[in-house]
Amino acid sequence: MIPTSVGELTAPWPTGLLTPGYPDAEIASVTVEPVGSGQMAGSFRITPTYASTGATSTRAPDTMVAKLAIGERSQREFAAGMFRNEVLFYQQFAPTVTVPRCHGSVISAVNTEFVLLLEDMAPAVQGDQIAGCSAYQAQAVAVAAAGLHAPRWCDDSLFELPGLSLPDHEDRVPMDSVLEPMADVFRARFPLTGREAATVDWLVAEAGDWLARTPQRFALIHGDLRIDNVCSVRTVRSPSSTGRPSPSVMRCATSPSCSRRA
């Protein structure tokens, strides 16, 4: 069975997933600690102890991050499509874009259980949605997002894989059901006026039609690009620039999908 809890992440699991890329990497034991605060899945840093020094010659990773579906089955069934897309991305598309390395992956036939073994991006840390981010961090995220979009921009081969498609009416229904309540909360929290208020009103009224409309442009996108789902590390700018700390976005986690870009 594919693990759905941290207690099931025993040594045989990472060993099996590592074998194709690291055939000598037999793991004798692991230590596991939680990282991040995912809503639909859990992420855990795995520090393996290898059974022999043979693993060293193949450069097996010293640490990895295991991402897996956790929670009750009903919760996992609700998120099955997102799980499928994320595993599909790392299996099929990751080599064509700049993202953290995936050391191994597995997903169940019904997409309710999965494990991804991902490159550990420490010392990068998860962002904080409540605290927000600086303008420099926002700029770095925008650049990283463009790096995801550009390599497969309007690439018709995206549609050759089962399960990957443009948004349709079925995608619109859940969005329509949550968008207006979310907008009400946003309006209550922030005093919007003028163009800001008009933009939120437009989003509620028109976003469903926009999502389901046949697009002129499309690309791989991040499924939930907010600061909680971004890991970053601060570096120092070169002396010729402002001298202010500049964030380098190291990882944009969660599920990419195929969608429109306006």
For the record, the structure tokens of 168 come out as 């349709």
Provide the pLDDT for residue 220.
Answer: 84
Q: pLDDT digits over 102-123, tens only? A: 999 999 999 999 999 999 988 8
Confidence label for 214 from pLDDT (cuts 50, 70 and 90):
confident
Largest CA distance in the chain: 66
Provide the pLDDT for residue 32.
Answer: 92
Mean pLDDT for all residues in the chain: 81
Give the whole-number percent of the chain exceeding pLDDT 70. Answer: 86
**Range from 16-20, 80-84, 233-237, 251-255 carrying the lowest mean pLDDT:** 251-255
Confidence label for 127 from pLDDT (cuts 50, 70 and 90):
confident
For the record, the structure tokens of 118 come out as 């991902």
Indicate if the pLDDT at residue 253 is higher than 60: no
- Between residues 242 and 140, the one the model is more confident about: 140
What is d(CA 63, CA 165) in angstroms, rounded to the nearest whole number?
A: 34
b/e sequence 95-134, b meaning 16+ C-beta within 10 Å: eeeebbebbbbbbbeebbbbbbbbbbbeebebbeeeeebe
Q: Which of left, alpha, beta for 212 (phi over 0: left; psi -120 to 50: alpha)?
A: alpha
Provide the pLDDT for residue 186.
Answer: 92
For the record, the structure tokens of 34 come out as 């939680």
Q: pLDDT digits over 26-73, tens only? A: 888 899 999 877 777 889 999 998 887 654 545 889 999 999 998 888
Burial label, 28 (beta-carbon count in 10 A; 0-12, 13-18, 19+): exposed
Query: What pTM was estimated for this model as a whole?
Result: 0.76
Topology classification of domain 6-119: Phosphorylase Kinase; domain 1 (3.30.200)
Q: Helix 194-212 vs helix 169-189: angle between axes, to the nearest 10 degrees?
A: 170
Provide the pLDDT for residue 256.
Answer: 53
The count of other CB atoms within 10 Å of the CB of residue 202 is 12
Provide the pLDDT for residue 259.
Answer: 53
Q: What angle do CA 131, 137, 141 make, to 5 degrees?
A: 115
Confidence label for 249 from pLDDT (cuts 50, 70 and 90):
very low
Strand order across the 102-107 sheet: 27-35, 41-50, 64-69, 114-119, 102-107
Q: Are 210 and 262 in contact (CB under 8 A)?
A: yes
Residue limits of CATH 3.30.200.20 in the chain: 6-119
Provide the pLDDT for residue 262.
Answer: 42
Q: pLDDT digits over 221-236, tens only? A: 887 888 888 887 655 4
Indicate if the pLDDT at residue 201 is higher than 90: yes
Q: Are 75 and 110 in contact (CB under 8 A)?
A: no
